[in-house]
Amino acid sequence: MTTTDTGGSGSLSSPYLDRIRTMRHVRNGKERIIEAILFVAAFCAVAVTVAIVAILLYEASTFFEHVSLVEFLTGTEWTPLFERARYGMLPLLVGTVVTSAIAFLVAGPLGFLIAMYLSEFAPPKLAEVLKPFLELLAGVPTIVYGYFALLFVTPLLQKLIPGLPGFNMLSAGLVMGLMIVPYVASIAEDAMRAVPMALREGSYAMGATRFQTAMWVVLPASFSGVMAAFVLGISRAVGETMIVAIAAGQQPNFTFDPREPAATITAYIVQVAMGDLPHGSIGYQSIFAVGLVLVVITLFFNLIGQMLRRRIREVY
Amino acid sequence: MAETQGPRLRTIIARNHRWDLIIGTIGLLATTVGVLVLMLLFVDLVIDGWQRLTPDFFLNFPSRRPEEAGILSAWVGSALVMVVTAFTAVPLGVAAAIYLEEYAPKNWITELIEINVTNLAAVPSIIYGLLALGLFVYILGLGHSILTAGLTLGLMILPIVIVATREALRAIPVAIREAAYALGATRWQVVSDHLVPYASGGIYTGVIIGLSRAIGETAPVITIGALTFIAFLPPIPFTGDPPAGPFDWLFSPFTVLPIQMFNWLSRPQTAFHVNAAATGIVIIVATLLMNGIAIWLRSRIRSKLKW
As averages over each run of 10 residues, the pLDDT of chain B (307 residues) reads 73 87 89 82 86 82 80 88 93 93 87 87 90 87 86 93 91 90 90 89 90 90 76 74 73 85 86 88 90 83 67
Last residue of a domain, one of B32, B50, B68: B50
The DSSP letter of residue B5 is H
Pair B98, B235 in one domain:
yes
What contacts B77, CB < 8 A, 6 or more positions away? B146, B230, B234, B254, B255, B256, B257
Pair B144, B240 in one domain:
yes
User: How much of chain B exceeds pLDDT 70, in percent?
Assistant: 95
Q: Which residues from chain B sit within 8 angstroms of residue A39, using beta carbons? A: 99, 103
pLDDT, mean of residues A17-45: 87
For residue B282, the Cα-to-chain-centroid distance in whole angstroms is: 15
Which contacts of B52-56 are long-range, i.e. CB under 8 A and separated by 24 or more positions? B52/B274, B52/B275, B52/B277, B52/B278, B53/B278, B53/B281, B53/B282
The total of structural domains in chain B comes to 2
ipTM greater than 0.90, yes or no? no
pLDDT, mean of residues A272-298: 85
pLDDT at residue B246, rounded to an integer? 73
Cβ atoms A172, A99 nearer than 8 A: yes
Pair B28, B57 in one domain:
no
Q: Which of A253, A274, A278 is nearest to A263 (CA)?
A: A253
Pair B98, B6 in one domain:
no
Q: How many residues does chain B have?
A: 307
Pair B21, B107 in one domain:
no
pLDDT, mean of residues A91-106: 92
**Which residue in A150, A174, A209 has the most chain B C-beta atoms within 10 A of its own C-beta, making it the best mutation to test that interface?**
A209
Asked if B223 and A145 come within 8 Å (Cβ–Cβ), the reply is no
pLDDT at residue B227, rounded to an integer? 62
Q: Which of A44, A58, A291 lies closest to B96 in CB terms?
A: A44
The CATH number linked to B241 is 1.10.3720.10
Pair B42, B57 in one domain:
no
Give the closest-approach CA distance of A88 to chain B in angstroms. Answer: 21
Pair B101, B150 in one domain:
yes
Pair B43, B58 in one domain:
no
Q: Which residues from chain A sit within 8 angstroms of residue B122, using beta carbons? A: 232, 235-236, 298, 302, 305
Pair B7, B57 in one domain:
no
Give the closest-approach CA distance of B38 to chain A in angstroms. Answer: 6
Q: Which residues from chain B sit within 8 angstroms of residue A203, using beta carbons? A: none
Q: Which of B37, B126, B130 lies closest to A178 in CB terms?
A: B37
What contacts B175, CB < 8 A, 6 or more positions away? B307
Residue-averaged pLDDT of chain A: 85
| Amino acid present at A176 | M
Give the closest-approach CA distance of A275 to chain B in angstroms. Answer: 8
pLDDT, mean of residues A70-80: 81
Q: Which of A52, A110, A150 lies closest to B131 in CB terms?
A: A52
Q: Which residues of B177-202 are buried (b: 16+ CB within 10 A; e: fewer)?
A: beebeeeebbbbebbeebbbebbebb
**Which residue in B9, B125, B127 has the most chain A C-beta atoms within 10 A of its own C-beta, making it the best mutation to test that interface?**
B127
Pair B226, B149 in one domain:
yes
Pair B110, B31 in one domain:
no
Domain around B28: 2-50
Asked if A39 and B99 come within 8 Å (Cβ–Cβ), the reply is yes
Task: Read off the pLDDT of residues A30-41 as tens digits, 9 standing for 90 and up.
Answer: 888 999 999 999
**Which residue in B42, B71, B123, B224 has the most chain A C-beta atoms within 10 A of its own C-beta, making it the best mutation to test that interface?**
B123
Pair B117, B145 in one domain:
yes
pLDDT at residue A312, rounded to an integer? 61
Asked if A143 and B262 come within 8 Å (Cβ–Cβ), the reply is yes
